[in-house]
Amino acid sequence: MTHVLEAGIEHLNIVNPNGSPSVRGWNIINGQLKQASDGSTFKSINPAWLQDCVGEFPLSTEDDVHDALRAARDAFSNWSNTPAPTRGQIIGNMGRLLMEHKDAIVAIETREIGKTLKESAGSVQEAIDTCLFFQSEGRRLYGQTVNSELPNKELFTYRRPLGVCGIINACNFPAAVPFWKMIPAIMCGNTCVWKSPQDAPLLSFILARIMHESGLPDGVVNLIHGKGSGAGQHLVNAVDKGMVNKISFTGSTAVGKMIGETCGRNLVSCSLELGGKNPLVVMPSANIENAVEGAYWAAFGTAGQRCTSLGNLIIHNDVYDEFMTKFMAKVESTSIGDSMRNDDVLYGPMLSEKYASDFLNGLEMCESSGARKIFGNGRITNENKPSGFLGDASEGVYMWPHVYVDVTEDMECFHEEIFGPVVTIVRTESFEHGLHLANASPYGLSSACYTNDRLEAYQFKSGIKAGMTGINNSTTGAEAHLPFGGVKGSGNGTRESGIWVIEAYSYWHAVNDELSGKLQLAQMDVDEIEIEEAEVDYTTLA
């Protein structure tokens, strides 16, 4: 077997896709490069250039997943007993290596999933920031000392790791999100089996390779490739077999509920970061130009393929006409294309053909709901393209930006997430009605309100049911030191990022250290303190 450190990333032609060969990809199990046990493979295709096969990767079997889980279990004892500051130092090394190879990693992310180079750079920078944040948390993995109610007794609390963590992330942020999950997990002393996104296996391999080069011991992070319905499902099913102590998942609400049910019946912790129908409310006091810019980016950045993308744009009647005139001027001039071959495009292709198919089904739902389309015409072709499209449309999987108006609360498209470049627009006659509409969908991930009325801003952030809120800012955007996650149909209350995520990857251990040499029972052996009534002559206090 070949060790992962022998597969140097300098040998991978990942910067320039033109004519570059496909990469032969591998699983990484206990530090060893392995193919699927039955030899099955799948291909990663560049969605901006469908003739470009990025690489061929193992289609992992249940046996492969179980091998990875056993490797993680075997590595857990030594890793969890490694001093936390040492674990933090290795994580710091990861951040420095990511910085060293950032340009190459950004290029492969753009090539593999079609994001613009600028957005890919943001995703990779988020992974770097996460490493730099958590390298010092290894020196702050604090417990507490607690005063006992009994004499000669000491009480302590410690944070302990959970064990083996199954990591499953979507492909739209293939650098940032897995690092949000795995960096705090391994910092707390856990080990991981990471099921890479089916549409970003090469980037995942590069990142896992960097983690090992940083000094991470074999078996602490194991990488398996494959489909969600295959390797991903095998990883979730392993919870029923007692092989997994934690599942962290980013993806659809339907799949998240299934994972939650599996973990729940086994009393296993799960972190679920799911979908959203994120509202953005525009009030009359808002700076309209600023609101248009924020709504435009939230709706169409990343081709609308963010869980925090704008869903329902809720506009007050008093500024509706002005806002829509300026908003549609931007939409109609949107620049679309492959950012590796064209400068200054707002967004590139869909993440894959599957995402494109799902998006077109979502547009059909808008039509059947009764919403009125004022811009957009499905998939871009050379015969059917907006004025801002750059390049040869037949080469990739591109979509028009879509705008639907006259949307009301009773429509299906008001409530359901549509993953792609589309926004549904709703009118409101008051702030109270706008807040009601913002809370009316079954999701609660991100939200925003544009207003310069400070009372409205306060009432919005107090009344909205969402995990994240922007005031005079977009629904999108996250920072490595802030909690990320949602409520209602958007998650189960757990959070990614910042110090809060430590709660998701550790448990509290209370220790009672008896020094008296005898049995002392709390609540039973505590001496009662007698209360003596003071004799006071109240007449002298007048």
* Chain Cα centroid distance, residue 298: 16
Q: Which of 184, 203, 78, 182 is nearest to 140 (CA)?
A: 184
Burial of 370 (0-12, 13-18, 19+ CB in 10 A): middle
Q: Residue 129: how many CB atoms within 10 A of its CB?
A: 18
DSSP state string for 468-512: --EESS-S----TTS-B--EETTBSS--BSTGGGGGGGEEEEEEE
**Nearest 10 degrees: CA dihedral of 406, 408, 411, 412?**
90
Q: How far apart are CA 301 and CA 310, in angstroms?
A: 10
- Active-site residue 307, yes or no? yes
Q: How far apart are CA 458 and CA 495, in angstroms?
A: 23
DSSP state string for 261-284: HHHHHTT-EEEEE----EEEEE-T
The residues, any chain, with a CB within 8 Å of residue 233's CB and separated by 6 or more, are none
Q: How far apart are CA 397 and CA 399, in angstroms?
A: 7
Q: Which residue has 């570059």 as its token pair? A: 20
Show the tokens assigned to 307: 């869980």
Helices (H), 313-411: 320-332, 353-369
Q: How far apart are CA 492 and CA 507, in angstroms?
A: 17
* Chain Cα centroid distance, residue 398: 24
Show the tokens assigned to 203: 């980037």
Q: How far apart are CA 394 and CA 201, in angstroms?
A: 24
Q: How many CA atoms lie within 13 A of 50 on its CB side?
A: 12
Show the tokens assigned to 238: 């392993």
Active-site residue, from 192, 307, 413, 449: 307
Q: Which residue has 């020196």 as its token pair? A: 139
Q: Which amino acid makes up residue 316?
A: H
> Annotated catalytic sites, by residue?
307
